[in-house]
Amino acid sequence: MPKVGNNAKEITKGLFLNEDPEKLFTDLREIGHGSFGAVYFARKASTKEVFALKKMVVTGKQAEERFEDIKKEVKILKCLKHDNIVKFECCYLRDHVVWLAMEYCLGSAFDILEVHKKSLQEDEIRAICAGALNALVYLHFELGAIHRDVKAGNVLLAVGGVVKLADFGSASLVNRASSFIGTPYWMAPEVITSMDEMLYDCKADVWSLGITCIELAEKKPPLFHMNSMAAMYHIAQSDSPKLCEARSKWSEGFNGFVESCLIKDATNRPTSKELLNDPFISDRRDSDSVVLMQLIERTKEAVRQLDQHYRMRKILINDH
């Protein structure tokens, strides 16, 4: 794994606060679950401001390695400043638990799919994609970083219809990488084959964005019915996936955009910056936040109709 920074002590210094977040924050409610812990809605007692708290426990067998990964995630998020990236607030370390406080969002694009149980509309997909693409251009071209885990579950929506890229737990601050990181179904072919020979770069995120488009259009990424090893074999060996109901349901522009993201040979695949000029993205940008605010409203309405105990009530948590 590429090393970030020179010295672990230097990173820790100033990275964590030592106060007790369980005293500073009230009203904690679980809103998400990742591979290593939960994410909570929380209110700062002193100001009543709302935040998301990602709780990461650092104990057990590989605690040291895990702590290095967490420090990397926090350090990366802390240096990112962009409207389409979830905003870092502060981070606490108490009794082997790291609490990452960040801007609160309503939920991920994946959560929204789960509420509606059907694919999103093309306008909505375009708006989500455009926001994520802005974040990627910033990451790739201003910081030389790679996200390495672009998927609907890591693309959040905030009040006002703003897209926020989140979860920098897999990100790399170097723009060429060789480690085998990400979530299998969204992985670019060159990330899979880099296991034995070559390096990959930020175009791996462009591939994952194309897969995310298919996920939003079809509720699942391609090959999701297979186990992850078989899926990775197919990603590396088979032709690129396409939108299923390509001609009947989706515009030519959308088909073309997905096709560009999913050009198998990374050298021929456009960069995130080039994709900003793809007509699918550039033609109707003015309406993006309106489209997303309507999506949020229609999602809230759908959640209100859901069973009282259904976990998606998190989307309404801060509504009074």
Site stretch for ligand ATP (CB under 6 A), options 57-65, 98-106, 202-210, 217-225 = 98-106
Quick check: 146 binds ligand ATP (CB under 6 A)? Answer: no
Q: Which of 69, 111, 149, 319 is catalytic?
A: 149
Beta carbon of residue 221, minimum distance to ligand ATP (angstroms, whole number): 13
d(CA 144, CA 4): 13
Nearer to ligand ATP, 135 or 281 (CB): 135
Quick check: 160 binds ligand ATP (CB under 6 A)? Answer: no
Residue from 4, 67, 111, 280 in contact with ligand ATP (CB under 6 A): 111
Out of ligand ATP, Mg ion, none, what residue 39 binds, judged by CB under 5 to 8 A for its kind, is ligand ATP
Residues of span 11-40 touching ligand ATP by CB under 6 A: 31-32, 34-36, 39
Known catalytic residue: 149? yes
Quick check: 54 binds ligand ATP (CB under 6 A)? Answer: yes
Separation in Å, CA 288 to CA 62, 115, 283: 43, 21, 11
Look at the chain and count its residues: 320
Which residue has the CB atom at the shortest distance from ligand ATP? 34
Out of ligand ATP, Mg ion, none, what residue 86 binds, judged by CB under 5 to 8 A for its kind, is ligand ATP
Q: Identify whether the C-beta of residue 214 lies closer than 8 Å to the C-beta of residue 241.
A: yes
Kindly determine how many residues on this chain lie close enough to bind ligand ATP according to the rule CB under 6 A.
Answer: 22
Beta carbon of residue 106, minimum distance to Mg ion (angstroms, whole number): 16
Question: Site mask, ligand ATP, residues 164-193, x = CB under 6 A?
Answer: --xx-x------------------------
Quick check: 241 binds ligand ATP (CB under 6 A)? Answer: no
Which residue has the CB atom at the shortest distance from Mg ion? 169
Q: Binding residues for ligand ATP, per CB under 6 A?
A: 31-32, 34-36, 39, 52, 54, 86, 102-105, 107-108, 111, 153-154, 156, 166-167, 169
Active site residue ranges: 149
